[in-house]
Amino acid sequence: MTHPVPALGIALVAAAGCVWWLPALATVRAGADRPDSLRGTSAACLSGWATVAGMAVLLLVADPWWAPGAVAAAGTATTAGLRIRAAVRRRSEAREALATQLRDVGRADPRSWLTSRARMYRARNRFVTVLGVGLGAAVASALLPVAVGPGHGGTGATVAVPVLLTALFLAVAVGRARVARRSSGSRPGR
């Protein structure tokens, strides 16, 4: 039996996603006029929305649920790979631009060229990374007793360990963000 209601819902989501995939398509079609990292990010966006559209079609024509699930898994992996590759390209483009600026000016300290906005983004990215690792560890510790099976874990530790891990990593993330803010020269409390 086909699944017309989920197929219709996913097709509508894919159509509504045109606010993302149409500009991405224009960027990819622009070719060498755009930086490689931007084209890579746009390709990842197109891959994600093509996955959503493919799932809608498969839900409409395929009986088993594993077919749309396989398309979703493959599309997610492809999109994540393209996005990671674009991020790596972006970093290398930024390094090349910084090296060119430093070469032109003759300075050897790249930190002097970081603007306050760049420092803010670095601090934000560090905060998100530390917090994400902490939440991942908390989720893993919460799911571990479920994976082991009933009767192998205490109920108090099942709740306490994820809460403590989340609190610990949140405190570390806030501390790192404050240190980054102070080192960037901004006033405390802002």
Q: Print pLDDT tens along the chain (190 aa).
A: 568 888 888 899 999 888 888 999 999 999 888 889 999 999 999 999 999 999 999 988 888 888 888 899 999 999 999 999 999 999 888 888 888 877 776 655 555 556 666 767 777 777 777 777 777 777 777 776 666 666 655 566 666 777 777 778 778 877 777 776 666 554 444 4
Tokens 């197929």 label which residue? 7
| CA 119/CA 183 separation, integer angstroms | 9
Selection from 169, 175, 161 nearest residue 135 by Cα: 169
Amino acid at 174: V
Is pTM beyond 0.85? Reply is no
